[in-house]
Amino acid sequence: MTGFTLIETLRYEPPESPDPGFLRLRLHIARLSRSARRLGFTLPDDVAEHLERAVAKATAPARVRLELARDGRIDIAVVPFAVQPPGTVWRVRLAKTHLASTDPLLRYKTSRRAAYDAARAEWPAGEADEVLLLNERGEPCEGTITSLFLDDGSGILKTPPIACGLLAGVLRTELICARRARVERLTLDGIRKGTLFMGNSLRGLIPARLIES
C-alpha cells in the first residue's frame, strides 16, 4: 500500500462559459479527502486554493490533474481540453487483462495503473476509443479511464458495484446520488442487449457500443 500517489482529474470551464469553474469540485475534494484519510496521506486544508491558483490564467476549457503525495505535497498540471463533438459514439473493445475484485486499491484513483495501461495497450487507438475490463469472474467493471453505465430500458442507468473491483468515479457518484443510476452487477450478455455508456467527470456521459468482432 505504498509507492503511489492519489490523483484527481477535473474539468475547468472559464468565467465566460455557461457553467464556469471546476465541474463537480465538491465531489472531487470529498473523494480525495476520503482516500487520503483511509490510505494514510496528509491532505492540506487549502486544496481548493491550490486549484484556483493553477487556473488563474486559463481562458479556455482545461483538463486539470491534481496529484497528492503521501507527505501532502501537491502537483497540478493544466492542459487544454477539447469537448467531445455532439453525436460522438465511442468504440469499446474488451480487454484480456482482468481486474482482481479483491484488490482494495482499485476503488481509489491512484498512480498505480499497470492493469489499465496493459488493457489500453491491447488495442490501437484507431480501433478503440476505450477498453472495457472484466474481473476474475468475468463481470464487466470499468474502462481504462471511465466508469461503465448500462441503459437496459428500465429508465435508470445501471453501474457495477465497487465490490466488483472498480473506481468510485465522481460522475458515477453524482448520477447515483441524483437517482439517475443505481448499483447492479452487470453481465456481458446484458451489455450486448442494452445501450452502453462510458463516462467520467472530465468528459461526462458518452454513448458507446461494444465491438467484439
Residue whose entry in the numeric block shows the C-alpha cell 478503440: 128
Q: For residue 150, which phi and psi values (nearest 5 degrees)?
A: -130, 130
Q: What is the pLDDT of residues 9-43, one digit of tens each?
A: 999 999 999 999 999 999 999 999 999 999 999 99
| Domain residue limits, the chain | 6-80, 90-210
Task: Assign a CATH topology to domain 90-210.
Answer: D-amino Acid Aminotransferase; Chain A, domain 2 (3.20.10)
Q: What is the pLDDT of residues 48-81, one digit of tens each?
A: 999 999 999 999 999 999 999 999 999 999 999 9
Q: How far apart are CA 85 and CA 91, in angstroms?
A: 15
Task: Assign a CATH topology to domain 6-80.
Answer: D-amino Acid Aminotransferase; Chain A, domain 1 (3.30.470)
One-letter-per-residue 3-state SS of the chain: CCCCCEEEEEEEECCCCCCCEECCHHHHHHHHHHHHHHHCCCCCCCHHHHHHHHCCCCCCCEEEEEEECCCCCEEEEEEECCCCCCCCCEEEEEEEEEECCCCHHHHCCECCCHHHHHHHHCCCCCCCCEEEEEECCCCEEEECCCEEEEECCCCCEEECCHHHCCCCCHHHHHHHHCCCEEECCCCHHHHHHCEEEEEECCCEEEEEEECCC
Quote the pLDDT of residue 121.
Answer: 98
Q: What is the pLDDT of residues 97-127, one digit of tens each?
A: 999 999 999 999 999 999 999 999 999 999 9
Q: How far apart are CA 133 and CA 168, in angstroms?
A: 15
CB 3 within 8 A of CB 26: no
Compute how many other C-beta atoms are within 10 angstroms of the C-beta atom of residue 18. Answer: 5
Quote the pLDDT of residue 2.
Answer: 75
Grid coordinates representing 141? 467493471
Q: Choose among 139, 133, 142, 114: nearest CA to 200.
A: 142
Q: How confident is the model at residue 182 (pLDDT cuts 50, 70, 90)?
A: very high
